[in-house]
Structures are given as structure tokens and as C-alpha cells.
Amino acid sequence: MSDQVLLRADGAGKQFVQAGRPRWACRGVSFDLHGGEVLAVVGESGSGKSTLLKLLAARLACDEGAVSYDVRTGEAGGGGGLVDLARLSEARLRWLARTDWGFVEQQAREGLRMNVSGGANIGERLMALGARHYGRLRGEALHWMERVELDAGRIDDLPGTYSGGMQQRLQIARNLVTRPRLVFMDEPTTGLDVSVQARLLDLLRELVDELRLAAVIVTHDLAVARLLAHRLLVMKDGQVVEQGLTDRVLDDPQHPYTQLLVSSILT
Ligand SMILES: Nc1ncnc2c1ncn2[C@@H]1O[C@H](COP(=O)(O)OP(=O)(O)OP(=O)(O)O)[C@@H](O)[C@H]1O
């Protein structure tokens, strides 16, 4: 983990109108994420985890507070240092999302292009950055298929012919091909068979370590958080009720809600 702050949430909040009245989906969220650090966001359904992830990845704009990112010097036209995402143009945000960030959706289909081959899915981000050389694109696609343990012989097959676990691996490869520094993941293993989940988690842990990736992972599964995350952020009713090192929070939860969450998986 590095000393440098990569992503900062400073009182971030978002509200939606529900039944004709504004309601905060998440509010007052503050934390720093350092380079190479993995943060898991946990909490019950409806606690605001996905909304927070969308604020962090600039898929939604904050209604209160701010999210800042350490834009690399010379990249996206930035001059380096933490920049409020609200101050970046759409084009610069798109650039960040295609290069320095990844976003792994819970439903792999939402993060893949289902009408082009597995190899083309991996090459797409490189093409968006101007790569045109067929041999290089195919070489990169093969490399990443192997890296995520996909059968390279399936490179020309459509993702719809892959199993759920394979689609999730393909989505991960598609995101990592540009060597992002930060990956957002929304319940990346939910909905897969338990054995497939376990192998995917191992793979994610290896990739995160090897590539020194920073990640924000939304999960309702404390075992996923325990395995992958350095730090935990516990949400309830849109607010962060506890945050800290994963082992500390899970072994010695301070807030009654965290105590309930932890005890519910022990019983
Ligand atoms: N686009 C939207 N319009 C209106 N309300 C929304 C919208 N998105 C989320 N909400 C509301 O915001 C609150 C938080 O939802 P969110 O999806 O962030 O929770 P979550 O913790 O990710 O839940 P889950 O684990 O079920 O996905 C909920 O009350 C939800 O109904």
C-alpha cells in the first residue's frame, strides 16, 4: 500500500425522490483510499452501498460533499493531485473510466458487450486508446485470457456461450487490460456457485496483490470482505456507522449494528 491518497470521499451524499419526497440514499461518507488499498463496503440491502459506489466512480454526482481522485500527471489533461470529480468534464471522466479505473458489475452481462467475441471484449479498451495493430490486440487478449484462467481456445466465442464464472473472469480481464490503478466492484461473486465463487475470490486476491490494485468492493458477504479487504466501511440507512481495519472491525466490532452483522454470520 502506498502513502499517496488515490481517492477521497469528503462528506459525500446522494438523495433520490421517493414517494414524492427527497430521501438520502447515502450521506456524510468520508474516507481516504490509498494506492494499492482494498476497501470493502458492507451493510444490509438498501443501506446505500451501490449508490456510494456510483458516487465514487462518478456514475452519479454528489448532492452534498465531494469525491476527489488523484488524476495522473498528463492524463485526462490533468496536472496531478486530488481533483474534485465534479470539476472534471464528461470527456475527462470517460477517459478515467476507460483507462485508470475499472468497474466490475455484479451481472457480468452488464459489463460485457455480448455481441462481440471474448477477445474483442478484452481489446475494446485498448482500441478506445488508439491501439489498432491486430496482432498486438490479439496478443493482449490471449495474455489476459490466460491471466484470468480462461481457455484461450474460446477467444473467438461470444460471451453468451461462456458460463457465469467465465463471464465474470472475462469482465475482469476486460477491465484490467489498461492496467487501471483503481477498480470498483459491485458484488463481484454474488450469484455464482460456491466453488466458482471461491476460485474467483482467489483470483481476485492474486490480481489485486500482483498488480497493486486499489479497489472498492461492495459486498453483503463478510467472508469476501475478510479475504480481500484491508479496510471495511459498514453502512446502515445510508450512513457509515463504523470503519477500520478489516480484522479489527470483524474481530472487535464496536457499533451495535456491526456486532449484529458479525454475529449473524457466526450463528
Ligand atoms: N435511482 C434511484 N431512484 C430512487 N431511489 C433509489 C435509486 N437508487 C437507489 N435508490 C434508493 O436508495 C437507497 C439505497 O439503495 P442502494 O441500492 O444504494 O442500496 P444497497 O445497499 O446497494 O442495496 P442492495 O444491497 O440491495 O443493492 C434505497 O432506499 C433505494 O431504494
Provide the CATH number for the domain around residue 87: 3.40.50.300
Domain count for the chain, please give it.
Answer: 1
Q: What's the pTM?
A: 0.93
- At 140, is the pLDDT very low, low, confident or very high (cuts 50, 70, 90)? very high
Percent of the chain with pLDDT over 90: 81
How many Cα atoms occupy the beta-carbon half-sphere of 192 within 13 Å? 23
Residue-level pLDDT at 171: 95
Burial bucket for residue 203 (CB in 10 Å: 0-12, 13-18, 19+): middle
Q: Which atom of ligand 1 is nearest to the CA of 220?
A: 25
Q: Which of 28-42, 144-158, 188-202, 238-252 has the lowest mean pLDDT?
A: 188-202
pLDDT (0 to 100) of residue 58? 97
Distance 176 CA to ligand 1 centre (A): 27
Q: How confident is the model at residue 76 (pLDDT cuts 50, 70, 90)?
A: very low
Domain that holds residue 120: 5-264
Crossing angle of helices 164-176 and 118-128, in 10° steps, is: 20
40 lines ligand 1 (CB under 6 A): no
Cα distances (Å, whole numbers) of residue 228 to 98, 130, 151, 218, 259: 24, 33, 25, 11, 20
Testing ligand 1's pocket by substitution, the residue of 29, 51, 52, 234 carrying the most ligand atoms inside 8 A of its CB is: 51
Tell me the ipTM for this assembly.
0.96
- For residue 229, the number of C-alpha atoms closer than 13 Å in the C-beta half-sphere is 31
Tell the residue nearest (CA) to atom 13 of ligand 1: 25
**In sequence order, what are the beta bridge partners of 18?**
21
Whether ligand 1 lies within 6 angstroms of the CB of 13 is answered as no
Predicted confidence (pLDDT) per residue in 110-125, tens digit: 999 999 999 999 999 9
What distance, in Å, lies between the first and last C-alpha atoms of the chain?
Answer: 34
Band of the pLDDT at 16, cuts 50, 70, 90?
very high
